[in-house]
Structure formats: C-alpha cells, structure tokens
Amino acid sequence: MNDREEFSPIRWDDGLKLLDQTLLPREEAWIDCATPEIIADAIYRLAVRGAPAIGVTAAYGLVVGLRTAGEGQEPRERFAEVSELLGATRPTAVNLRWALERGRRVFDEHVDRGAAAVIAALLDWAHGLHAADVASCRAIGDFGAELFVAGDRVLTHCNTGALATAGYGTALGVITSSFRAGRLAQVWVDETRPLLQGARLTAWELGRLEIPYKIVTDSSVGILMARGLVDRAVVGSDRIAANGDAANKIGTYTAAVLANRHGVPFYVAAPLSTIDRDTPTGDQIPIEERPADEVTHVFGADVAPDRAPAANFAFDVTPNELITAIITEEGVLEPPYNESIAAAFARQAGEERT
C-alpha cells in the first residue's frame, strides 16, 4: 500500500475535516467541521460527495452533533435533531440513510451509559465504517479487474474514486486495479455536466494515479462507441434497487443505452451499502432535483438568457437489463439480480457471523 492509495477526502483529527471538492482541482482546502450544520451544508453543496463518502461523513457527523449538544440537551433529542438535519441533505444516495440507521442502532445500544460513552462508541463505529468502506472498495477493485483484458479502453461517468468514497473508489477502484494488473490502456472521462465531476475530479485523481485518460463531453459517448473506441464502461451508483435497477449521475442511463446499442459491456460498481433492498425497482428511487442555476451557470458565469428556466435532475436510473454485471465486495453479480443480490447479502451475513 502506498500513500496515494490511502488518500481519503474525510479525516478525523479530534474533529472532522473534509476536503472541499468544490475547489478542486485548483485548490486543496480542508473544511473544519465544527458543527453538524457545517457538515450538512458541505454535503448539500457537494463539497463532500459520492454515495459512500456521504455515508461515512454522516457517521462522523453524528459524533460532531452529540459533542456540540446544547447545555442540558437530552442526547436522544440531539441525536434525532442531527440525524434529521443530515438525512435531509441528499435524497438519492442511500448510503446516507444506511449510515444514519446503523448509527441509531449504536446510539440506542450505548445511550444509557451516558453522553461520553455513547459519543466514544459512535466514534469507534464511524472509524470502523471508514475502514470497512476502503476495504470494500479494494475488494470491488480486485473483482472488477478480473473482467478486463489487456489493452481495454474504458469509459466512466462522474467521479467514483477515492474522493467519492472513504478511499480507493468503486468504479475508479476497478479502473485503478485493472491498470495495475496491466489490463487497461486508457480511460475516457465524461466531463459530467452540470458540475463537471468527471473533468474536475476524475481527471485530477487519474493524473495523481498516473493512469492515461482523455476527457470528453458527455455527448461524445455515441461517436466513441460507434467508432469502436470503447471496450467497456464502468460507473458507480447512488442507489441500486432490489431488482438491480441503478440510479447514478445524470447521463449514466444515456451511456448505458448506447453501450447496449454497440455491444459494449456496461458494469455498475458499488458496495452492498448502496443496494437498497427496501426499494423494489428503480421507479421507487427518489431522484434529487437541484437548483436551476447549476445548469444556467458554469462556475459562476451566466451562460443562459436572464431568468431562463432550467430543469436539473441530478441522477437517472439505468434499468437492470442494460447492466452486464454489478461489481460488489461480495463478488461480481450477474442477472437475474433479484437472486444474485439476495445471495450476496446472505454471503455477507454469513461472514459477519463467523
């Protein structure tokens, strides 16, 4: 393991610090998260982003919340208040709800031992979640690399690297592992409008990792595939339904339809914490809609007529029949996903018991 691999956008140094991803790649500045309001704001404005990174941030956010409870405020009341504040920030990324729900179980188990004890237990748990997310990403990378063959040119969308997780990344973890195994020649990086997570963040990470890449506009996917320049595509997900339908950054569905049209394998890489078995199909996944000015403005510059109306869906849903396989820390899942997903959770439960 070298220092690049251990890179994480989330740090705990007797307090939470988050790398402000809105400033990348120009500036590397860390936000001091002294209150849960600062954390909720960082999640909402995408200073920290990517479903697994949001989940781990929320876990530490519960600790910060309890530490900053008002004089004489009941821990139960404070926990509910902070959990609601953090939970309201981003509706599609299920890792957020997943982490808050697990945090509640830890809280319930320890709260009767007093505020200091419950805070210590939650901090231990948050550190564990952080480490477990990195381990999941590494396993996803190893399983995913097996699907690649030497010389592959891979397309990816949005940012799914160390920045979007506790470290190493999901789809970008697969790309990293494949490159290191000598099976990857080049990455096509979709710029990912409107907030340019591909052009700003994925390109930044690939540069640090010394993996060859080219940025393309999102609308280039058709010509790249039509010309036979893409051998496979791998993306992340914010929420995968029980039937394998996967929500991810807007534009993913378009890329999946094109991949299907051109016979390009299309993989989704995600930890089991992104699979929401309470959501039967993609139709029930809530899709975040963000302010119109993210579309009408490009980094502060107004590119549309004054007061031009705009729609800003942050995610879309790729139906399971367009997904060749889902790469998880429990292995590569193949259709029918209802069955392979249930089996992966059963395997994980078995491992946790032993």
* Interacting residues toward ligand MRU by CB under 6 A: 46, 49-52, 93, 158, 160, 164-165, 170, 197, 236-238, 248-249, 314
Q: Name 306's Cβ contacts closer than 8 Å, sequence gap at least 6.
A: none
Residue 278 among the catalytic residues: no
CB 25 within 8 A of CB 204: yes
Q: Give the residue with the Cβ less far from ligand MRU, 83 or 237.
A: 237
- Supply the minimum distance, in Å, between the C-beta of residue 108 and ligand MRU: 28
Marked catalytic residue, from 133, 152, 238, 276: 238
- Supply the minimum distance, in Å, between the C-beta of residue 27 and ligand MRU: 18
- Supply the minimum distance, in Å, between the C-beta of residue 120 and ligand MRU: 29
CB 56 within 8 A of CB 133: yes
Q: Give the residue with the Cβ less far from ligand MRU, 147 or 163.
A: 163
Q: Give the residue with the Cβ less far from ligand MRU, 50 or 103.
A: 50
Q: Give the residue with the Cβ less far from ligand MRU, 81 or 294.
A: 294
CB 239 within 8 A of CB 206: no
Distance CA 247, CA 316 (A): 5
- Residue keyed to tokens 């039937």: 243
Amino acid letter, 299? F
Distance CA 57, CA 130 (A): 9
Max CA pair span of the chain: 66
- Supply the minimum distance, in Å, between the C-beta of residue 237 and ligand MRU: 6
Amino acid letter, 15? G
Q: Give the residue with the Cβ less far from ligand MRU, 22 or 68.
A: 22
Cβ atoms < 10 Å from Cβ of 227? 9
Distance CA 324, CA 327 (A): 10
Distance CA 275, CA 126 (A): 20
Q: What is the DSSP string of 267-322?
A: EEE--GGGEETT--SGGGS---B--THHHHEETTEE-S-TT-----B-EEEE-GGG
Residue number with the shortest CB distance to ligand MRU?
236
- Supply the minimum distance, in Å, between the C-beta of residue 350 and ligand MRU: 25
Distance CA 55, CA 274 (A): 10
CB 187 within 8 A of CB 233: no
Q: Give the residue with the Cβ less far from ligand MRU, 106 or 327.
A: 327
Q: Give the residue with the Cβ less far from ligand MRU, 36 or 251.
A: 251
- Supply the minimum distance, in Å, between the C-beta of residue 294 and ligand MRU: 10
CB 135 within 8 A of CB 173: no
- Supply the minimum distance, in Å, between the C-beta of residue 249 and ligand MRU: 3
What are the CA-CA distances from residue 211 to residues 73, 177, 203, 230, 251 (Å)?
51, 11, 9, 16, 23
Active site residues: 238
